[in-house]
Amino acid sequence: MPEQPIADKFKISPFLVLYMIMSMQIGIGVLGYQRIIVAEAKNDAWISVLVAGFALQFILWMIYKINETVNGDIVTAHIYVAGNFVGKLLSSIFIIYYFILSLTVQRSYLEVIQVWMFPKMSIFWYTLAYMILCIYIIYGGFRTVVGIAFFGLVLPSYLFPIFGFSLSLGEVNHLLPIFEQSIKDILLGAYKMSLTFIGFEVVLFFYPFIKEPKKSKKWAHLGLLLTTLIYTCIMIITITYFSMDLLAKSIWASLSMWKIVNFPFVERFEYIGIATWSLVILPNICIALWISSRLMKRIFNLQQKKGVIFIAMATLFAINFFPTRVEVNLLNNLTAKAGFVFTFIYIPLLFIAVMIAKKVKKT
């Protein structure tokens, strides 16, 4: 069952895939991923980031092979392998997955605001305002969502050079000796990068919306490479700036580094960073909501505009069940494990199944 052709006016240029991938990968994780990786790989944590990033290049290659073989999205791939009923049943799981992903990003960002800026801020009212904004963006169509991904990456990009302030206070010998940790510890650190790195697999869902999709391959791989290098550089700066003991206690290491930044016109730069980060997570949530509602349209023939409202209301309801750090941490761990299974187990299995189905259909 091939997907109905998408009109060219709804499609995006191949180079915009770079922004879609990077905007999904750069999110709330940047603010505090360092402590989790360092807990496993210590001063070799930057190697874990590189290992995870380069492993994902191979997964991205698989994603493109799946899409090219079935000439469609993940729903088409599932139907191609398992038939109409089972294929749609498998695809429906990802409605829940991307709903949970958007919920995790939203709640984790809210926690940062509550801890660093407004302790008594209402979770409900902030989420309501944010969901209304996301619905408005998605109602503009897929190209509008891509535009938000572009601006959500470009406009806050001034924040990344700010990490350079920490270099003046860093100790390079914190990185030494290199390869001090065992391969097992380095691989465990790479595994813990799951929540931070997940997001590039969205190509599986919007592939039919790319003009000349084969030309987008190089941009997709470049986007993944740039994200890997950004995370690696931030990790290296963090290790040189913090002692291992202090870093183990720093939940939001990136925000702690921003605290030392002092300009004549602003005293608490981390407040500007946190406020700006609302632009960074906006594409994360919009793309996740768009995918969930798109899948509802593909599987249940529910109008996408209605699907978005349904998922936004579910988010508004579910977010109240995560009031404290303990529940937020459980949500993060659940999403990280689900992301790891989807990326490193399910996608390779789907790739093998599609290749086998292709051979069977030929014969």
- CATH number for the domain spanning 192: value is 1.20.1740.10
What is the widest separation between alpha-carbon atoms in the chain?
Answer: 72
**What pLDDT digit, counting tens, does each position of 163-212 carry?**
988 888 889 999 988 999 999 999 999 999 876 898 999 999 999 999 99
CA distance 152 to 150: 5
> Is residue 2's pLDDT more than 70?
no
50, 229 in Cβ contact below 8 A? no
Across the range 284-303, mean pLDDT stands at 96
* 359 is a domain residue: no
* 249 is a domain residue: yes
* 296 is a domain residue: yes
34 closest CA partner among 330, 225, 173, 237: 237
Q: What is the pLDDT at residue 3?
A: 54
Across the range 339-352, mean pLDDT stands at 96
* 5 is a domain residue: no
CA dihedral of residues 78, 81, 83, 88 (deg, nearest 10): -10
Number of domains forming the structure of the chain: 1
**What pLDDT digit, counting tens, does each position of 32-50 carry?**
999 999 999 999 999 999 9
185, 331 in Cβ contact below 8 A? no
* 361 is a domain residue: no
* 362 is a domain residue: no
Residue span of the structural domain in which 319 resides? 13-353
* 65 is a domain residue: yes
**What pLDDT digit, counting tens, does each position of 177-187 carry?**
899 999 999 99
Residue 267 — very low, low, confident or very high, per pLDDT cuts 50/70/90?
confident
* 49 is a domain residue: yes
